[in-house]
Amino acid sequence: MAKNRILSGMQPTSQLHLGNYLGALKNWVNFQEKDDFERLFCVVDLHAITVDYNPAQLAQATREIAAAYMASGIDPKKSSLFVQSHVPEHSQLMWLLATMAQMGKLERMTQFKDKAGKNKERAGLGLFAYPVLMAADILVYNATHVPVGEDQKQHLELTRDLAATFNTRYDVELFVQPEPVIAGPAPRVMSLRDGTQKMSKSADSDMTRINLTDDADTIAKKIKKAKTDADPLPETLDGLEGRAEALNLVTLYAALSDMSKEDVLKQHAGQQFGAFKPALTEVAVAHLAPITSRMNELLSDPAQIDNALRDGAEHARSIASKTLAEAQKTMGFFV
Ligand code: TYM
């Protein structure tokens, strides 16, 4: 029987933050211990250009995301790491799928609505078609599982929908329906400044997020300034209801120290944030410092990263080219 295959990716829009790490990346690393999975992880540079970006920084940002994957524990011997644009089959399959993607469904994508903002008429076609490219990323490998944060659930539903539409329209069983795996230690990390907004690379203020590259002083400053309330920490989770910011900090503490939220509360019940924040800073620094220093080490001699990305792309293409050829044949192209 075919092996399970996982595929996931992150955009080189800017540095990765704790949401990316605790929502997805840490869970990718868990998959490396599972023998019955083949693993593919890409840096989705073609997605990153759907919003304003700096061309002078794109290549280095791409390399930095690959360094972050490796520093967090993704081992190129166990997983294929590659850059999305190095495997042109993603874009080629995207076009085929685009002919089947309904505008109405794309218009309902919350990420598109958020990113396009009020001025939808001026949004680029690439931003609108973002989920179709994401579907191609997944379907070109017939990935069975896609580990992501909660915000990607809707895109995964669209991917499943496109797989089914293709199979039905052409009466084939070409595409597998991928399962979203939303099982990171914190599938929805919120902004440090507003517990109703997710932590995001695109938020204007850097104080809303903790980046994997932040040093100890920056982490301490951001946590110190994080929004909280005046109440002490409760004994049980019900006591955090309606306290989004407090819940977020407890969630971060739990995820960073491999504890349950319940146990964090048992340990810190009755504490004010003046005491809890330094404790959270300590676990965040202890967890992130080795990742940051490994990242810097890798980036100081990027040959290791670049070699991993080259080998990864070669392997990825060997799979993707077959699926694309099948899709083209199915659709009646002269191949
Ligand atoms: P990106 O780069 O925006 O996010 C990368 C991953 O981080 C997760 N994430 C979060 N998880 C928890 N809390 C948060 N605040 C938070 N913010 C981000 C995202 O869910 C994601 O798993 N569209 C994808 C990139 C992509 C992709 C793919 C993913 C392109 N093609 C194919 C999987 C498979 C994205 O959101 O990237």
289-325 residue pLDDT tens: 999 999 999 999 999 999 999 999 999 999 999 999 9
pLDDT cut 70: percent of the chain above it: 99
Ligand 1 lined by 156 (C-beta under 6 Å): no
Report pLDDT for 202.
85
- Tens digits of per-residue pLDDT, 192-238? 999 999 999 888 899 999 999 999 999 999 999 999 999 999 999 99
Tens of pLDDT, residues 226-267: 999 999 999 999 999 999 999 999 999 999 999 999 999 999
Q: Would you say the CB of residue 144 lies under 6 angstroms from ligand 1?
A: no
Angle of CA points 61, 65, 69, to nearest 5°: 165
**pLDDT tens profile 148-171:** 999 999 999 999 999 999 999 999
From the CA of 14, how far away is ligand 1's center (Å)?
13
What separation in angstroms does the CA of 133 have from each of 143, 207, 215?
14, 31, 35
Helix (H, G, I), strand (E, B) or coil at 288: helix
Q: Does ligand 1 come within 6 angstroms of the Cβ of 191?
A: no
**Percent of the chain whose predicted confidence (pLDDT) is above 90:** 94
Cα 123–chain centre separation: 23
Indicate if ligand 1 lies below 6 Å from the C-beta of 87: no
Two tokens, residue 257: 């120290």
| pLDDT 10s digits, 51-92 | 999 999 999 999 999 999 999 999 999 999 999 999 999 999
Q: How confident is the model at residue 335 (pLDDT cuts 50, 70, 90)?
A: confident
Q: How confident is the model at residue 2 (pLDDT cuts 50, 70, 90)?
A: very low
172 C-alpha vs ligand 1 centroid, how far in Å?
30
Average pLDDT score over residue span 101-130: 94
Q: Phi/psi of residue 41, each to 5°?
A: -130, 125
Does any ligand 1 atom lie closer than 6 A to the CB of residue 178?
no
| Per-residue model confidence (pLDDT) at position 75 | 98
Is residue 132 within 6 Å of ligand 1 at its C-beta?
A: no
Q: Looking at residue 204, what is its pLDDT?
A: 87
Mean pLDDT to the nearest integer, 133-140: 98
Domain 4-187+302-330 has what CATH class? alpha beta
Which pLDDT score, from 0 to 100, does residue 203 have?
A: 86
Write down the pLDDT at residue 174: 98
pLDDT at 272: 96
Supply the residues annotated as catalytic.
Answer: 115, 198, 201
Q: Whose CA is nearest to atom 34 of ligand 1?
A: 8
The response to whether residue 245 sits with its C-beta less than 6 Å from ligand 1 reads no
Quote the CA–CA distance of 133 and 153 in Å, as a whole number: 15
Q: How many C-beta atoms lie closer than 10 Å to residue 98's C-beta?
A: 16
* This prediction's pTM: 0.97
Cβ–Cβ < 8 Å for 64, 102: no
Which residues make up the CATH 3.40.50.620 domain(s) of the chain? 4-187+302-330
> Which fold does the domain 206-297 belong to in CATH?
Tyrosyl-Transfer RNA Synthetase (1.10.240)
Residue 1 has pLDDT above 60, yes or no: no
Which residue CA neighbors atom 18 of ligand 1 most closely?
Answer: 20
Identify how many contiguous H helices and E strands the chain contains and give both numbers: 14, 5
**Total Cβ atoms within 10 A of residue 107:** 12
| pLDDT value for 122 | 92
Quote the tokens at residue 225.
């300034």
Q: Where in the sequence of the chain do the CATH 1.10.240.10 domains occur?
A: 206-297
Calculate the average pLDDT of the chain.
96
Report CA(268)–ligand 1 centroid distance (Å): 31
* Extended strands (E) in the chain: 4-10, 37-43, 80-83, 145-147, 179-181
Among 7, 8, 10, which residue has the most ligand 1 atoms within 8 Å of its CB, making it the best to mutate? 10
- With vertex at residue 240, the alpha carbon angle to CA 235 and CA 242, rounded to the nearest 5 degrees, is 155
3-state secondary structure of 13: coil
Q: Looking at the CA of residue 143, tell me the nearest atom of ligand 1.
A: 34
121: its two tokens: 């008429």
Q: How far is the CA of 20 from the centre of ligand 1 (A)?
A: 6
- Which residue's alpha carbon is nearest to atom 26 within ligand 1? 9
